[in-house]
Amino acid sequence: MSVNDLDSTLVTASESRPRLWRYWLGPLTAASDAIIVGSLVCAASVVYYLVTQNEIGIDRAAPELAAMLMTIFVFINLMQGRYQLGNYLSPRGQIASAFSVWNITMVAFLALIFVAKITGHYSRIVILTTYLAGVPVIALSRSLLARWVAAGSKAGRITAERVFLIGREDNVMSFVTRHKPWHVGFAITDVAFLKSCQDGNPAELSADLAAAVANCRARGPDAVLIALPWSEHKTIEACVGAFTNLPVAIHLAPEPIMERFETPHFIRSGSFSSLRLTRQPLSATEIAAKRAFDVAAAVMGLVLTLPLLIMIVALIRLDSPGPVLFRQRRYGFNQQAFRIFKFRTMTTTDDGQVVVQAKRNDPRITKVGQVLRRYNLDELPQLLNVIAGNMSLVGPRPHALAHDVEFQRRIANYARRHNVKPGITGWAQVNGLRGETDTDEKMAKRVAYDHWYIDNWSFWLDVAILFRTVFSRKAFTNAR
């Protein structure tokens, strides 16, 4: 971007006043959430009444139930700051967030009626129906809202914050070119270029800042963003000191290294502050909770699918000669090698320094193997790996050792996917990133999804991924 292009952007921003959406989006979203939840309860109650009474009506406890769920859902969203406009500037993560809040709402509601000893006052079927219907409806509404806000932000119709930029011309232009702040809800009201060099004349810097402060006061922005290298301590301190007397928020533009990480943020412990670029993948408590869930769900999965497993074993035996189970060395947590279990779906069982990936219409795939791969049934024996502790139900998919070594050499931070246990399914897989990775671009995209999962892990994210693994069409995309 050139300075002239930036000037045209400034003209548009300076001529536009803050839009009403900026102030009313939060209350409107809260009202919309309340209406959706109330409508779900009423619809569930009407259906229940029609089935049980054979006439159209509504249960007398439905309005009270609707009011309680509406209040709890909106309150939890408020406590989590979910009604701030900035949360809707990207559709990414909206479904998982909505699913999490909806689950917390139902748990809080059930706990409340249990403590109040009124569990028999409400229809269990209406509550269950409302919950199940709310999962897709609330997630879809939140996703659509985020897409609308993101589109409105890029078109200039919705502004989250009006920003005044200050810094040296090369730093400001570099920041604007990289981040395009108007795409994330920022309207640039004006720019002040500092003319002094890093160790320049203090008097010259003071003159620049005095002019910038006067201009900023006239523009009336919400925030000032200082676009300078963090190594220029004195200049930054002078800028902060100059703008502190204005009723604005003061931001320091991010260093380029922060762009490599998804969620860097400041951590304060006592008098010590640090910028955390990555978090420890899971805390001790989270590891214990994830492990307990993995073991319980894997044991239940084995019990429920036992007849299916026996049938698959028989079909493999009848279809082609060779072992029923295919074992291959793969890297697990912290790059510790283990042997993964799969139902054999090919005539070969490669596990050496050269492993040829399966391709579409691969002649090595058996007839039974085609069906198993199509519906992900060849992965079922990995429930044994989960119980043994080598794998988790959800995590980055492990690859053959030969492929891991090669991809680690060609893709930056590839090995970071081993910071958590590998999974039977994962965030990349439910987003359609399965099958052959015959190019670095395909694998880099899959790795990016794995890194996002590591940086944003939560118990409810795992539940959402498991749900999508079974019911989402994308989870079966590119199956080989």
Q: Is 380 helix (H, G, I), strand (E, B) or coil?
A: coil
Q: Which of 157, 188, 156 is nearest to 172 (CA)?
A: 188
Please tell me whether residue 469 adopts helix, strand or coil conformation: helix
Please tell me the predicted confidence (pLDDT) of residue 71. 94
Is 202's pLDDT higher than 80? no
Burial string for 147-172 (b: 16+ CB within 10 Å, else e) reads: eebbebbeeeebbbbbbbbbbbeebb
For residue 12, pLDDT beyond 50: no
Ramachandran category for residue 78: left, alpha or beta (phi over 0 → left; psi -120 to 50 → alpha): alpha
The pLDDT score that the predictor gives to residue 198 is 61
Residues 11, 172: Cα–Cα separation, whole Å: 17
Taking residues 274-289, report their average pLDDT: 84
pLDDT score recorded for residue 366: 84
**DSSP for 134-202?**
HHHHHHHHHHHHHHHHHHHHHTTS--SEEEEEEE-HHHHHHHHHHH-GGGGTEEEEEEEE--S-TT--H
Q: CA 308 to CA 283: how far, in whole Å?
A: 36
Q: Which residues contact 144 (CB under 8 A, 6 or more apart)?
A: none
Tokens of 25: 């989006």
pLDDT category at 28 given cuts 50, 70, 90 is confident
Q: What DSSP assignment string belongs to 194-245?
A: --S-TT--HHHHHHHHHHHHHHHHHH--SEEEEES-TT-HHHHHHHHHHHTT
Model confidence at 151: pLDDT above 80: no
User: What's at 332, amino acid-wise?
Assistant: G
Going by pLDDT thresholds of 50, 70 and 90, the confidence category of residue 152 is confident
Burial of 350 (0-12, 13-18, 19+ CB in 10 A): middle
Q: Specify the fold of 3-16+159-260.
A: Rossmann fold (3.40.50)
Pick left, alpha or beta for residue 312 (phi over 0 → left; psi -120 to 50 → alpha; otherwise beta): alpha
Domain with CATH 3.40.50 in the chain: 3-16+159-260
User: Which has the higher per-residue pLDDT, 381 or 82?
Assistant: 381
Q: Is the confidence at residue 19, as pLDDT, over 80?
A: no
Inter-residue contact 77 to 84 (CB < 8 Å): no
The β-bridge partners of 272 are 269
pLDDT tens digits for range 309-333: 999 999 988 888 888 888 888 889 9
Question: Among 142-146, 336-340, 348-352, which stretch is predicted with the lowest mean pLDDT?
Answer: 348-352
**Cα dihedral across residues 104, 109, 112, 114: positive or negative:** negative
**Which amino acid appears at position 394 of this protein?**
V
CB 395 within 8 A of CB 420: yes
Task: State the Cα–Cα distance between residues 226 and 172, nearest whole angstrom.
Answer: 8
Higher pLDDT, 140 or 480: 140
Average pLDDT over residues 176-204: 78
Say what the pTM is: 0.55
**Confidence bin at 17 (pLDDT 50/70/90):** very low
| pLDDT band at residue 435 using 50, 70 and 90 as cut-offs | low
Question: Which bin fits 20, alpha (ψ -120 to 50), beta or left (φ > 0)?
Answer: alpha
Residue pair 357/346 in contact (Cβ under 8 Å)? The answer is no
**Residue 320 to residues 118, 152, 301, 313, 371, Cα–Cα distance (Å):** 60, 58, 27, 11, 14
Per mean pLDDT, which range of 37-41, 261-265, 339-343 is the poorest? 261-265
Bridge partners of 269? 272
Q: Measure the CA–CA gap between 417 and 346, rounded to whole angstroms.
A: 27
- Say which range, 138-142, 352-356, 443-447, has the weakest mean pLDDT: 352-356
More confident residue, 147 or 352: 147
Band (pLDDT 50/70/90 cuts) for residue 121 is confident
pLDDT at res. 255 = 87
Q: How far apart are CA 363 and CA 345, in angstroms?
A: 11
For the cut 80, the answer to whether the pLDDT of residue 421 exceeds it is: yes
Confirm if 60 and 93 have CB atoms less than 8 A apart.
no
Residue 370's pLDDT is 84
